[in-house]
Structure 1
Amino acid sequence: MAALTKAQSEPNLLALEEELTCSICLCIFNVPVTVPCGHNFCASCLELTWTDQVRDFSCPQCRTTFPGRPQLRKNTVLCRVVEQLQGCGAGDGREDDEREEEEREAAAPIYCDSCMQAAATHTCLTCMASFCPEHLRPHHDSPAFRDHQLCPPVRDLQQRKCPQHNKLFEFFCSQHSCCICSLCLLSHKLCHTNPLQQAKDKAESALKKRLAELHNQSERSVQAMNSVKTIRSQAAETAARKRDLLRAEFLEIKALIEEKENQTLKVVMEEEKRVCNKFDYIYKILGNKKNEIQSLTEQIEMALTEGDDILFLKRAAALQRTSIKEAFVPVIEMNHDMIHAAYQSAINLKDVVKLAVNVPMDKRTDAKLPAGKMKPLSVPSPNKPVVKKKLAADLRTHKERTPHLTKITLLEETDTQDKQNPVKLAPNMGAPNVGAPSTGAPSTGPPNAAAAAKVKELISSFLKKTRVELLQYAANFTLDFNTAHNRVALSERYTKMFVSDVLLNYNHHPQRFTDCPQVLGFQCFKRGIHYWEVELQQNNFCGIGICYGSMERQGPNSRLGRNSSSWCIEWLNSKISAWHNDVEKYLPNTKATKIGVLLHYDGGFVLFLTVEEKLNLIYKFKAQFTEAVYPAFWLFSSGTVLSLCQMKP
């Protein structure tokens, strides 16, 4: 009987194993304690969780906060259930003995209270005694016992009696959860009472319903745990795949950097080899000359030992006619421009990597989303070729090119034209690079009248300034070797540019102009006021202007002024024009050998001035700048030379 009971209870306990698991350590409770919100945890797990806290103690499961540290008390019921669960597999000998003893007591016969020998067959609830068939006979034969209530034999009859009135329990008070006799009804007249059988049936129905709810809750808990295990397994597999992809990508990045390193070192080593070969050749020539001098010296010494005067004179005459030129060492220098370009490319690559590594991840995520109502950019798979090509291009890019989708209305004015008749150009949209962030386009309508008046007043104030006053905004910069066209040569520490008669075969760079002989300044301007001057030695077929870093590098739209990303003035022999967005504006001819450029980024305008005894305005552009602006130069005619003037504020 004990074995059968144990076999029936084990599945029920095992089904509650999920309910008896600590949510912190995910193991069966070990000395379970209960917090005020009703959840249970292992005492050691909860103590470890609250070790470093001095206030704001909260439940690890439902996050309910308690004003102070709760006093943890052992949950004795759960301890008992856990002990039974743990004893299902191994068993507890003492508990089994107790169960067997209880079963033996339940199976033992109930003896007659009269003879104390024969087994009782009935119990009289009126007499509160049990009787065998012999002593029960008066209850059947005598009319005096006819009203006595008989039932099967019952143990512990005293537990069925009211200790106050010594009467049998006949009712159950649900409010006080206790059994009462008929006399107790007077003190429980305001309570809800039911006969014992009816209360039993009701309680039995409630417990069965509760048992069904617990079973369903247990099944849901099992399903939830299985779901958590599945999701956890999937998350681990996804993380493993992502780690493999990241390792592959970083290996490719390292390979690209190593390739760039080898290419850069190869440039220096080839230049070193070229110079060393020349020195070796000169050293060889000097060695031959030394041998020749040594041979002539020996011949002269031999001639001096000659005793025959005639023979001596013949040899002396021949030796005197022999001449040896002085040793000459030509000047051999390394191509420092090439080495500097290689070194600069390494520095640029380092800057790009630093910039990419130091940007916080949240900002990178935010940068992918446009500010306006624009569709988010799709991110291709990391193992696709397009991403690898873009990665290689980004590693070679030395400046941050951040194109924006903008619409700019340009108002151009000259001091020879009616200022009330501005020329409005058609808006154009620059094409952004792949993966580059974009912003919503500003309004293309006419500017606010007050703002326009303010800009006009600001321009007038700058036009009244002298050159000395403008020098406080002096910007001394160099030219960017990586943007120079193969026909544009740079010299004097990258401050002088001219058109070369032969192609210079510069190394490929994604920022280099391929179709137009142009070059950009190395520095960019994102705010403030900046002034620089350019000297024109021959001002035919050249241009001076500014542009965004996102301006195209190849194609017809890559020429200054032929797109919405650049502004310039251009000299074609005696004709001067202003260009923006592929719209030309003819300007009066101006004799000038030095041009000043004043950029007011925040004010939204750029002025082109002739630098003479007095500054004269050539042209002005108004624009709402949305990107970093770079000085830009166009040279076409052979012999054209432009030089950046070094100024002191």
Structure 2
Amino acid sequence: MASADLREELTCPICLSTYTQHVTLRCGHNFCQGCIGSVWDSQEGSAVYTCPECRAEFQERPALQRNLTLCNIVERFLSTQPEQAETVIFCTYCDSSVPAAKTCLLCDASLCDKHLKQHSKPEEHVLTEPTASLKNRKCPVQKEILKCYCTEDAACICVSCCVFGEHSGHQVETLNEASEKKEKLRNILEKLTSVREETEKRAQSLQEHKREAQEKAAGLTDRVTALIRYNREQLEVLEKRVLSKITRWEEQVSLRVSDLIQQLEIKKDKLSKKMLQIEALCNITDPLTGLQGHESDNADFCDAEEGDNEDREREDNMVHSVGDLDEVLIPLTSQRLTDIVTDLKAKSGFYVQEALNILLDVNTAANNVSVSGDLKTASWSERDQLRPNTPERFEFFQVLSTRSFSSGQHYWEVEISDSGIRGVGISYPSIEREGRQSLIGNNKKSWCLCMWHNNHAVIHDSIETEIYPESPLQRLVIYLDYEAGRLSFYQLCDPIRHLHTVTATFTEPLHAVFYVRNNG
């Protein structure tokens, strides 16, 4: 009995439950911190704050203080309570321990089935489930049954308090109505909890996306920096090479021109001597001597004229050779610069764009080509795949991609085995499907990089251009710029190495094409 009385003393008058985070007001009454906080939240904007127990008024919202003594009492009380089912309530009127069926809040008595039949049932008698906490069911002021709920003070009250008591004029609801609202609030709380959890998941997902973006940006920064550094080195090498060629050309021209100048100086001296001889002949008074000297001078003069014509021709050739440097060296330099810039643009484009997800078209795969279930791997097969013979199917070794490209810039990555014969490239869909002329590179409608043994070549229209990679090709990048008519092959390593670029004017949509043979 003492335990029950103590429980009543440790019960919050607002929520009618044992105190949790209990606080004490200046008037001496105790409440759960959350309960009194809710009451005063509802009183925000009014002139005063009141105590739900004694109606003491406070001009300002009081600071809540923990009741440490009461806190210790509640903790010790709860620790002594056995963890068992709810205490059985017995009939008040039976001599023996007969369980009660109902409790009458008006009579403050619990009734078994027998006494319940004898109990009067006017409206003021309120029957509830058996309970020992009758004090919590009655108004501490009017000692009447709590039937209403004051929404302004967030307190359970009796009818008298509602009509002429301290809660007169307040917004009041029945306990059932308030309970239903609480149930709605619980439903709303559950929904809000679900929304909050979903919001947290989305926030976590966005944080993960942000982290991935930061990592990707950091990787992209490192690779672009490496590419810029590599191309800067290439430009420096090109500058040194061009300047060295210009210097050598200047030295060669200077030597040749100096030699010509020396020869002209010698010729000028000879001409000066000859002019003196002629002047001397002109001054001779003897006709015979003057004529004899004149004949020999005429012959020498004719020879000098012929030699002078040859010298002029050599000088003209020298002048023309000076102009040839601009016509040859500058275009070559410009082309190399264009290649470097295009190469840089293509390489950097690999990391700004996303690599394409290329899928293989089984309807085009030859019956000696095995295609994986995810449509991403093609391999040579000794066993006939027994696919139906259709017009779009290749006779030998090849398969096209499902996707085609008729504009824009695109790239895809390919992993390659180190055995067999392998080929990767692009093809028009109008490529033939039977005979040797259908193999990629053997016609004008396809371009490919073919690999066999230690040989590597880019092939188009049966014309091979050999390439010499620095290391075995395990991963490739194929870069297509449709409008520019460029198809580039790169070795995917660090840094990326440019293998070869094909230029063409594309007139049809293009498919990625793959060639596998002899365990490729």
TM-score range, shorter chain: 0.3 to 0.5
After TM superposition, the score normalised by the length of structure 1 is 0.29
